Amino acid sequence: MNKLFITPASHFTRKCRVTLIELGLEDRFELIPTSWPHNWGTETTPYREDFLDASPIARIPALLTEDGLRLADSSTICEYLNDELGNFRLCPQAGRERWEILSVVSVATHGLMEAQVLRRAEMLRKREGSPSPQEFSGSFVRKMMDRQDRCYEYLDKICGNFRDEPDLGQIAVACACATSDFRFPEDDWRNPAPRLAKWYDSFAQRPSMQTTMQGETPR
């Protein structure tokens, strides 16, 4: 049995779970929940041995395949699912369309999703013994918000070219949009990206999205 280490708050994890469902592969994977303290972003925390065995970099998600492969990056995991197990249903094997889809994956993952997690980690920063509940860098948070805004503006321009059927790029974008609603509702990302918002509100009704709703990570 393939083992996928997960946590409910992680948009990276959700991206993999949605991919599993869209490919109809759920029964081939064991989902292993992990727990994290809220200081995960800036401090060393204890890790489970089986998790470290699957992911020496100690990041979620982590995939341990039944034949011993260890994959610890959400985009790599999703490509593995699509290419090796999914008959390329969510991204073609080669050609321009493949690279167009993967370019959307890169903006959604390394742009939006990483900006969201880095912002969250920074806002949880607190020095030991400090009376202040938060000691984050406002300029760093602003930098991540600016990155987010640029990515949303770009995706708003191109979302009209998305395929009628779901693909790896759309899955990554949807998980990023959902995280803005879940973690940063005050941002109102829909106002500057109305076309993307309309697309997302439709995509979010897919069973794969409805059954993978985000929640707070257990401690």
Partners of 189 in the β-ladder: none
Cβ atoms within 10 Å of 19's Cβ, excluding its own: 27
Mean pLDDT, to the nearest integer, of 185-189? Answer: 92
Q: Cα separation of 35 and 13, whole Å?
A: 13
* Co-location of 57 and 101 in the same domain: no
Tally of domains in the chain: 2
Q: Give the highest mean pLDDT range of 34-48, 117-131, 177-191.
A: 177-191
How confident is the model over 123-155, as pLDDT tens digits? 887 666 667 666 778 899 999 999 999 999 999
User: Looking at the domain assignment, is residue 15 inside a domain?
Assistant: yes
Q: Which domain holds residue 192?
A: 96-206
How confident is the model over 73-99, as pLDDT tens digits? 999 999 999 999 999 999 999 999 999
Distance of CA 206 to the CA centre of its chain: 17
Range of lowest pLDDT (113-117, 128-132, 165-169, 201-205): 128-132
Of 35 and 139, the structure prediction assigns the larger pLDDT to: 139
Q: Cα separation of 219 and 216, whole Å?
A: 9
* Co-location of 6 and 50 in the same domain: yes
- Residue 194, token pair as written in the block: 């109305």
User: Looking at the domain assignment, is residue 91 inside a domain?
Assistant: no
User: Looking at the domain assignment, is residue 66 inside a domain?
Assistant: yes
- Residue 5, token pair as written in the block: 């280490």
* Co-location of 59 and 101 in the same domain: no
3-class DSSP assignment, residue 179: helix
